[in-house]
Amino acid sequence: MRIILALAALLSSTATARAATAQDEQVWLNLTAMGRISGKLVYLAELQPRFGNGVSRLDQMIVRGAVGWKLSPTMTVYQGYAHIAVPVEGGRDLNEERSFQQLSWTLGKPWGGELSSRSRMEQRWRSDGSDMGWRLREMLRYEKPLRPGSQAVNALVSVEGFVALNDTDWGARGGFDQVRSFVGAEVAVKGASTLEIGYLNQVVNQSHRRTRVNHVASITLIVRP
């Protein structure tokens, strides 16, 4: 009898865990422009529409810009700002404003490829609250040519972890926020511009022990004049 009760409890907890995980199929598009303004002064500009709910509607629109300073050929620091609009069916859009500081760093060229890091500290404000949220993001990215000596097509993998540093009145909770894992390819388009296509898996830690998993077709065009 105890074994039966234990099995029943295990099945119940497994069903509850599954019920607490929501999944969605999405498409994220990203148009990025980056280049030199003058000397060591550089810029970054992004437009990112994201479609969710089974790719049936616009889930988010992100507009992000930054100016940076090249500390060395392998390291650049940025100060930027982002506006995020989240459409709400039957109501007003939910808006988020972000200021951020970023360090982009080429770590080296192991195994015939290139390993890089992007560290970003964000200050976040949302229209449904008054608190400022702090969040730290760290991304590691590795790319490697599929054919030695050619940069036409690179295999590309990355992982980015998000940690909220405080609680806010609009729902942020300190601790693990989300993780994004990407696998795909980087294709040379024209000059130094590239197209990145692949699969992105996003695991989001939501409130009340709920988890959201998004399966994303990610397409990014990076224009480097």
CATH assignment at residue 108:
2.40.160.40
Q: Are 24 and 217 in contact (CB under 8 A)?
A: no
CB atoms within 10 A of CB 98: 19
Residue 2 is assigned to a structural domain of this protein = no
In a domain, 20, yes or no: no
CA end-to-end span of the chain, whole Å? 72
128 falls within a domain: yes
Distance from C-alpha of 23 to C-alpha of 181, rounded to nearest angstrom: 15
Assess if residue 1 is contained within a domain: no
- Residue 86 covered by a domain: yes
pLDDT more than 70, % of the chain: 92
Contacts with 73 (C-beta within 8 Å, 6 or more apart), sequence order: none
Q: What range defines the domain where residue 41 resides? A: 25-223
Residue with tokens 């989240």: 86
Contact indicator for 34, 58 with CB cutoff of 8 Å: no
Question: What is the per-residue pLDDT across 136-194, written as a single tens digit (0 to 9) for each?
Answer: 999 999 999 999 888 899 999 999 999 999 999 999 999 999 999 999 999 999 999 99
pLDDT band at 206 (very low <50, low <70, confident <90, very high): confident
Number of domains in the chain: 1
CB 201 within 8 Å of CB 181: yes
pLDDT of residue 207: 75
Q: Provide the pLDDT for residue 7.
A: 40
d(CA 68, CA 80): 8
Residue 6 lies in a domain: no
DSSP letter for each residue of 195-225: EEEEEEEEEEE-STT-EEEEEEEEEEEEE--
Prediction pTM value? 0.89
- Amino acid sitting at position 98: R
What is the SS3 assignment for 90?
coil
Q: Is residue 43 part of a domain?
A: yes
Does pLDDT of 82 surpass 50? yes
Q: What CA–CA distance (Å, rounded) separates 84 from 56?
A: 19
Q: Where are the beta strands (DSSP E) in the chain?
A: 21-38, 41-52, 57-72, 75-86, 94-108, 114-126, 133-145, 153-164, 175-188, 194-205, 211-223
Is 11 part of any domain? no
Q: What is the 8-class DSSP label of residue 11?
A: H
**CA torsion angle for 33, 38, 41, 46 (degrees, to 10)?**
-10
Tokens 């650049």 identify what position? 76
